[in-house]
Structure 1
């Protein structure tokens, strides 16, 4: 049944007597309203894309390349105002009464397959070196300048290698060799970074050069019951320790460091805060 017949039945004969031009204009306006239907907010598009990308919650499963490109493209288009942030908000200001810069985490969404959130760092704020076990991580710097240092584990050590410490050196816990992947400043706008379970800089540290915000997508998210613990590390220069069977050319030694497990340092304060940007609709 066409729209003209439906309205005629409802409104009576007078509708049929309307000039053809008015009927046509009415139809055009309705079509234009459908055509100009309000687009979903960028954060909603991000959520919908994550549902497609992280179809599996398995540890160490990397999404297909096309899915990765899609999510990277969506993140690339997100701006601070799309998530309700401006650089003058209290999250990004240094309080003289605080002994250390306070980092704020804005939780947006989390399920078994992925999580979305934003880290807000005032100047000199630090997210210490940590890992992402079995996870694929997308990070988008929304504004500001941040120094990022990231590592990948060196996994091709000889099976019989053992750590030989120099005199007066001792280790409180297991130490592993890692290769430096990135050690540089990044200023928004810049491309989103991607960390994979075994490469791409799965372990990283963030240091705010200026006030900045980082939008993070993790798939799957951390989960202590599932063995995906967030572990923190101290870094030591390669020259501090020697290992049997490991030989690295002198000019490359700065590209390797020893990472030693540690507890979350006392000079780091991370607090949670309610996300106040556009809401996500689960459909």
Structure 2
């Protein structure tokens, strides 16, 4: 019995030492990583962090909470000057005020795991209501005032209640209308904290309306891919009172937080011009 106790104590001591050694190695690794990132430009730091965060994710797979915090922290530190952006650049002005202004997308980087880019919106520029299928999306309003409205599909109904109707009274519309819940409907002033939306939560469907010239830094994981079935789908919205469904009853005071969304073709007046990002260079390792 004495031998057994001594052996148990020795094994326990060895296990504690191993844990301490592992914790020390992990802490050193984290410190070294933070030190390497601090020496990089903000854009390069974002690229390296995205490489790490999205390395083991995929469609519908959300990064770990630790990775999410890591990426939000890096995004939170980025400023417009870090990316060589100014509100007086041509991207943010319009020559024909009566027309819907065109939007410029500055492509920074794209691979199978993630994409990085900047949307440049002149005043009154609109990115219509659209979705992000299977994606985790990080965004930061770098400057400007923007109205953002976002939705998630309504899921707070019992299984026999199908939140789907067909607008038979509108003959030209044949696709289903689906009930969605408004998550955000407000104006934001940049720079502000980065936001995150998830594949099925957090406002996966949203639209942007520029009150003033705006720049939005976007990170998608994974990016859109038509061959893989990740299409960008556009929607039009209708008040909850427009339609009714048997079995769905929402209290009067909550009805403003629900709307019907219907798929639509890409709006004809939407003009998005793609250009390569010309700011500080991103180096792929």
Q: Where does structure 2 lack aligned partners over 5 or more consecutive residues?
A: 1-34
1:15-37 CA-partner distances (Å, limit 9, x unpaired): xxxxxxxxxxxxxxxxxxxx9xx
Q: Structure 2 length normalisation: TM-score?
A: 0.82
Q: Secondary structure at the match of 1:168?
A: coil
Partners of 2:127 and 2:156 lie apart in 1 by: 29
| C-alpha spacing 1:44/1:163, structure 2 compared with 1 (3 Å) | closer
Name the structure 1 match of 2:277.
275
Match of 2:185 among 183, 186, 189: 183
Counterpart contact for 1:44–1:280, Cα < 8 Å:
yes
Name the structure 2 match of 1:258.
260
Q: Does 1:125 find its partner at 2:125? A: yes
Find the structure with the greater CA-based Rg: 1
Instruction: Give aligned pairs, total.
Output: 247
Q: Does 1:79 find its partner at 2:67? A: no
Name the structure 2 match of 1:61.
61
Counterpart contact for 2:163–2:178, Cα < 8 Å:
no
| C-alpha spacing 1:249/1:97, structure 2 compared with 1 (3 Å) | closer
| C-alpha spacing 1:277/1:175, structure 2 compared with 1 (3 Å) | same
Match of 1:196 among 195, 198, 202: 198
Counterpart contact for 2:57–2:63, Cα < 8 Å:
no
Once the 2 structures are TM-superposed, how far is the Cα of residue 279 of structure 1 from its aligned partner?
A: 1.1
Matches within 5 A, 1:214-229: 214-229=216-231
Matches within 5 A, 1:66-215: 66-96=66-96, 99-157=99-157, 158-159=159-160, 161=162, 168-170=169-171, 171-215=173-217
Once the 2 structures are TM-superposed, how far is the Cα of residue 96 of structure 1 from its aligned partner?
A: 2.1
Partners of 2:186 and 2:163 lie apart in 1 by: 32
| C-alpha spacing 1:140/1:241, structure 2 compared with 1 (3 Å) | same
| C-alpha spacing 1:56/1:164, structure 2 compared with 1 (3 Å) | closer
Once the 2 structures are TM-superposed, how far is the Cα of residue 68 of structure 1 from its aligned partner?
A: 0.5
Mean Cα displacement is larger for which, 89-98 or 131-140? 89-98
| C-alpha spacing 1:250/1:51, structure 2 compared with 1 (3 Å) | same
Q: Where does structure 1 lack aligned partners over 5 or more consecutive residues?
A: 1-34
Counterpart contact for 1:166–1:240, Cα < 8 Å:
no
Once the 2 structures are TM-superposed, how far is the Cα of residue 67 of structure 1 from its aligned partner?
A: 0.7
Once the 2 structures are TM-superposed, how far is the Cα of residue 163 of structure 1 from its aligned partner?
A: 5.0
| C-alpha spacing 1:240/1:282, structure 2 compared with 1 (3 Å) | same
Name the structure 1 match of 2:248.
246
Once the 2 structures are TM-superposed, how far is the Cα of residue 162 of structure 1 from its aligned partner?
A: 7.2
Aligned residues: CA RMSD: 1.9
Q: Secondary structure at the match of 1:46?
A: helix
Once the 2 structures are TM-superposed, how far is the Cα of residue 56 of structure 1 from its aligned partner?
A: 2.3
| C-alpha spacing 1:44/1:269, structure 2 compared with 1 (3 Å) | same
Partners of 1:166 and 1:233 lie apart in 2 by: 15
Partners of 2:164 and 2:109 lie apart in 1 by: 42
Q: Does 1:47 find its partner at 2:47? A: yes
| C-alpha spacing 1:206/1:97, structure 2 compared with 1 (3 Å) | closer
| C-alpha spacing 1:91/1:162, structure 2 compared with 1 (3 Å) | closer
